[in-house]
Amino acid sequence: MNPAYPFSAVVGLADLKLALVLNAVSSRVGGVLVRGEKGTAKSTIVRALAAQLPQVAVVAGCRFHCDPGAPDPGCPDGPHEPDAAGALRAASLVELPVGASEDRLVGSLDLERALTEGVKAFEPGLLAAAHRGVLYVDEVNLLHDHLVDLLLDAAALGVCYVERETVSIRHAARFLLVGTMNPEEGELRPQLLDRFGLTVEVRATREPDERAEVVRRRFAFDADPEGFAARWAAEEAALAARIARARAVLGSVRLPDSRLRQITAVCAGFEVDGLRADLVTAHAAVAHAAWQGRDVVTREDVRVAARLALPHRRRRDPFDAPGLDERLLDELLDQTEPPEDPENPEDPDGSGGPGSGPGRPGEPGGSGGSDGSGGSEAGDGAPGDAAGASEGSASGSGDRPHDVAAAGVPFRVPVLKVAGVGAGVAGRRSSGRGRHGRTIGARVPAGAGPAGIDLPATLLAAAPHQLRRGRRGPGLVLKRDDLREPVREGREGNLVLFVVDASGSMGARRRMTAVKTAVLSLLLDAYQRRDKVGLVVFRGAGAMVALPPTSSVEAGAARLRTLPTGGRTPLAEGLATAADVLRVERLRDPDRRPLLVVVTDGRATSGGDVTRAAAALAGVTSVVVDCESGPVRLGMAQALAVRLGARLLPLESLGDLVRDRRKAG
């Protein structure tokens, strides 16, 4: 097998290297989310890091990588003898493919053997394989929601649970979680975002010399991987030694109370939600101090930690530039800088050791080692820099000053349903077959395995074959083919995607208030029905995804309240953007059926061909909420409804419909 590309040989990407190194030093930092464009060597560097992690001692023959010193008491391959033979092995690097099945992730129970032989036959999944190593998820934002939930649970608890009917298995699953995503393909749910300790924005360097060096090294590596690795062996050994040293001193690094208060003040200053930010920043600052060979956390450690731990935890608009406003960071640090302390702010010797000093051959960005020591260098080319400066005007689209109408008190809305029977997650909107609801029959399981077992149907299926299978005594002879799973019918949750016209033609303040109130009411309804919601807005120069599909209705309501109105009406762009959102969402959450709610007066005053845009949404259950008002009506929303095959609901009827239905029922 070829050696991994050496970590030290990766050009640039200083922040990413540092974030990975801090995680290698301290398991409490909580992983890294890498955001950025494709083709930036993200997976190369993650593989390179795994090769840098110290080897782990494992119980020989245990498929769950138990530590001989402290085996998992619940290990399915256990119990292990207290002095079981151990073996050293490299820390694992496990990749979770976006299309993985649940069984592949958490492992699979052999139900046939469980039922027929009464043994828990468990085939470990990727979470078991990643235990005490790295779990790498490329395009984590495209991962199926169901897998995301399983992943989140395991990451939070350090334990993987597998439950199938009455059989359950649990085993330890602690891993360094590294995810990558291209934000243009959709955002991550806030819960998953928060689960990553650090985030790094990466982009390929625009510096021609650096780009040339990247290509040169890649050529050299591909031509002769062994030779290339050998040339970098000293660097790699020094890096591994430095990581090991930092790990060894981690426990004795002191976090003075004044620094802790500086951390909490910085987190408060950036208005982050919850306390996780403070914890992660503190752990990262301690890890950075250890990495720098310091025994006490300094301002520089806090700064580096905050820069990596806070960007994804700010309350933010999707239009905000990425990264952290570094001027605000420095201001906050200045305001909270404790009075002169005996602590030594810079300790250039502390990080010493052969080969770990500056001056590595031909290395523009430096490895985690050289870049971490100087905070001033950190801004070098970091996307955060330019970002901070342009903040505030980011959402401006160049037309008239924004007019923000208030929203009224939400009211109850009629139940809008997706036609037919779906197979989405449990919810309270459309008809759906799945794991929940009333059992209406049984069937032969399709695909990966039964989603639950219907015992009566399974026994009935087995009964005719008992003689032929040689049954003698009591006990039924069951085969996998006998297994039947229940067919349940209940309600599923949907993705309710709102496409809201916020153009000038809707701009009369009172009308926009009515629109916002109606959408807010629908959002509230979606929350109660456990739907996912998304919000596309079109006005002025184009359309934008104001809220990528999320389960956080709160976020949707917040966006809606501050939504400005004005400008022309690019209706086609609005529809095209909605079609894009649905296309990505179908990949990520294929069983969740969408419901499109277009809120407009239907008057397109700019942009492309509405007919073509509407055609791209064929097959999607849609509702057009007609916002036209006044004595003379053009009926444009009705025309749009016809094009979309949508139900048309006049805005003012939304509240009335409920009252009518209640009278009727």
Say whether 54 sits in a helix, a strand or coil.
coil
Q: Could you identify the residue written with the tokens 């990262």? A: 284
Q: What Rg do the C-alpha atoms of the chain give, in angstroms?
A: 29
Q: How far is CA 579 from the centre of its chain?
A: 22
At closest approach, how far in Å is the CB of 93 from Zn ion?
Answer: 20
Residue at 233: amino acid letter:
A
Nearest CB to Zn ion, comparing residues 171 and 603 = 171
429 classed as catalytic: no
At closest approach, how far in Å is the CB of 172 from Zn ion?
Answer: 8
DSSP letters, 167-220, are: EEEEEE---EEEEEE-GGG-PPPHHHHHHSSEEEEE-----HHHHHHHHHHHHH
CA-based nearest residue to 571, from 604, 613, 597: 604
Nearest CB to Zn ion, comparing residues 132 and 144 = 132
Taken as a whole, the chain contains a residue count of: 665
- Quick check: 63 and 16 in contact, CB under 8 A? no
DSSP letters, 28-42, are: TS--EEEEE-S-S-H
CA-based nearest residue to 192, from 236, 262, 140: 140
Nearest CB to Zn ion, comparing residues 64 and 538 = 64
CA-based nearest residue to 146, from 405, 445, 451, 603: 451
- Quick check: 67 and 58 in contact, CB under 8 A? yes
At closest approach, how far in Å is the CB of 175 from Zn ion?
Answer: 16
Strands 32-36 and 198-202, sheet pairing: parallel
Interface contacts to Zn ion, rule CB under 5 A: 62, 64, 66, 75, 77-78
Task: Provide the token pair at 398.
Answer: 């160049």
Number of neighbouring beta carbons within 10 Å of residue 355: 15
At closest approach, how far in Å is the CB of 130 from Zn ion?
Answer: 15
CA angle in degrees (0–180, nearest 5) for 360-363-367: 80
At closest approach, how far in Å is the CB of 104 from Zn ion?
Answer: 20
CA-based nearest residue to 365, from 210, 220, 228, 217: 210
Nearest CB to Zn ion, comparing residues 70 and 223 = 70
At closest approach, how far in Å is the CB of 78 from Zn ion?
Answer: 5
Pick the catalytic residue: 47, 276, 316, 559?
276
At closest approach, how far in Å is the CB of 156 from Zn ion?
Answer: 22
Say whether 81 sits in a helix, a strand or coil.
coil
Nearest CB to Zn ion, comparing residues 75 and 543 = 75
- What is the C-alpha to C-alpha distance for residues 438 and 490, in angstroms, rounded to an integer? 6
At closest approach, how far in Å is the CB of 133 from Zn ion?
Answer: 15
Peptide bond into 256 cis (omega under 30): no
Say whether 660 sits in a helix, a strand or coil.
helix
Number of neighbouring beta carbons within 10 Å of residue 113: 15
At closest approach, how far in Å is the CB of 72 from Zn ion?
Answer: 6
Task: List Cα–Cα distances, 641 to 404, 611, 621, in angstroms.
Answer: 27, 11, 11
How many CA atoms lie less than 13 Å away from 498 in the CB half-sphere? 31
Residue at 537: amino acid letter:
V
Tell me which residues are annotated as active site.
Answer: 276
